[in-house]
Each structure stands twice: as C-alpha cells, then as structure tokens.
C-alpha cells in the first residue's frame, strides 16, 4: 500500500503552496521540504529556508507567523533552525537537544495537539503501514516522514527504536531511507510546543529557547 505522505496529491498541493509563498514573499523564503507526523498528531509541517540576511529574532518571529497565516490551518510552518544561529545575538542552536530535554519535562502532561485536516486520517494510516512493514513493537513508533522538495534525495522515515537498523526500504516501488532514533520525550515536546509558539507570536525555535532559559 503506497504512503499518502508521499502521494502525488499531497506533493502537488504542497508544491503549489511553496510556489505561492515564493511569489507572495518576494523570494525571501524557499520551501525545502515537508514533514508528516504519522503517530504524533498527523500534522503536515512545511519547512522554509530564509534567503535574506541580517534578520533579527523579531524579524524571524514575524516571518514565521506570516507564513502560518498565509497557509491557514491545514499546515504548520517552521523556519530552518540554522537561520537562528545567524541572528544578533545568535541562538546557540547546538544547545537545542539540551533545551528540548528541559522543555519535555515542563510539557510532560500537555495533551498532544491532533490535526483535523483532510490529510490527518490518511497520514494516520501511513503509521499502520509502516508499523507493519518495520515490525514495530509497542514501545517503538514512527516519528516523521521527511519529503524533500525539488531534490534528488529519497524521502526519509524516522522511527524511534533501539532495534530498527538504519537503511532503506521499498514501498510500492518507491525507495525510502530509514533512520532510527533513540527514545526521548523531547521529540513530542516540539509538537506540543507548536500551538504555544503560535499563541505567543514567536517562531517555534525562538519559543523553545525562551521557555528554557
């Protein structure tokens, strides 16, 4: 069974949004990939590279929130983490794993925000397909499916497992990379933090650092 996360329907819809944003934002940002979260909310996240230099944290907050407003409720939007290392003063992006561990403890009891979009049920079904193919156990789960835009790289499936080996897998004739990640609550806290970042009008990366000072 093919995955909805890499289907022509979703890919074309995302690419159309990327083209619209390129025009509306006058080439300031470029869509580089989208990510689906099969077992942690079923969201579709659009990740953008910033092509302008010399932006402040306030500028990046404003830009990420403008992107979210532009695409509406059907998708989430984030800027790539590397751009936050270029602000003045820069965020120490190398500290992100430690910051996420701190945030995970604070958000341990927060509910997981679930998507209510046209994509959600299909993405949830992707989880069942992958769980079966990879023979995931109860303590293992599919973290994300990362799909590059306009690149030759294959889509990447990340799973939280100490057993699954890094490698490749074919699904309905399509090649996927598979990457295993060690168990950690920090993955979930990013998803839980996203709605709070939007409410505070902060970029997600900025919100994580601000909450873990």
In angstroms, the CA 111 to CA 192 distance is 7
pLDDT > 80? residue 151: no
For 74-126, the pLDDT digits (tens) are 999 999 999 999 998 899 989 999 999 999 988 888 899 999 899 999 999 99
Whole-model pTM: value is 0.95
Tell me, what's the pLDDT at 187? 85
Mean pLDDT of 62-73: 97
In angstroms, the CA 102 to CA 213 distance is 10
List the structure tokens of 139: 């303590």
What are the boundaries of each domain within the chain? Answer: 1-213
For 162-207, the pLDDT digits (tens) are 999 999 999 999 999 999 999 988 889 999 999 999 999 999 999 9
């Amino acid at each position: 069974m093919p995955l909805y996360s890499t289907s022509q329907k979703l890919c074309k819809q995302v690419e159309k949004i990327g083209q619209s944003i390129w025009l509306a934002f006058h080439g300031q940002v470029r869509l580089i990939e989208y990510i689906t979260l099969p077992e942690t909310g079923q969201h579709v996240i659009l990740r953008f590279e910033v092509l302008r230099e010399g932006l402040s944290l306030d500028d990046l907050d404003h830009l990420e929130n403008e992107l979210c407003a532009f695409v509406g409720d059907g998708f989430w939007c984030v800027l790539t983490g590397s751009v936050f290392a270029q602000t003045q003063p820069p965020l120490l992006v190398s500290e992100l794993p430690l910051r996420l561990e701190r945030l995970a403890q604070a958000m341990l009891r927060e509910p997981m925000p679930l998507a209510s979009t046209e994509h959600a049920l299909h993405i949830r079904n992707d989880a069942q397909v992958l769980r079966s193919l990879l023979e995931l156990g109860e303590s293992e789960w599919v973290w994300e499916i990362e799909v590059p835009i306009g690149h030759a790289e294959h889509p990447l499936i990340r799973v939280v497992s100490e057993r699954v080996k890094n490698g490749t897998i074919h699904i309905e004739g399509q090649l996927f990379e598979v990457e295993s990640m060690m168990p950690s609550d920090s993955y979930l806290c990013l998803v839980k933090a996203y709605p709070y970042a939007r409410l505070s009008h902060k970029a997600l990366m900025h919100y994580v650092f601000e909450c873990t000072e």
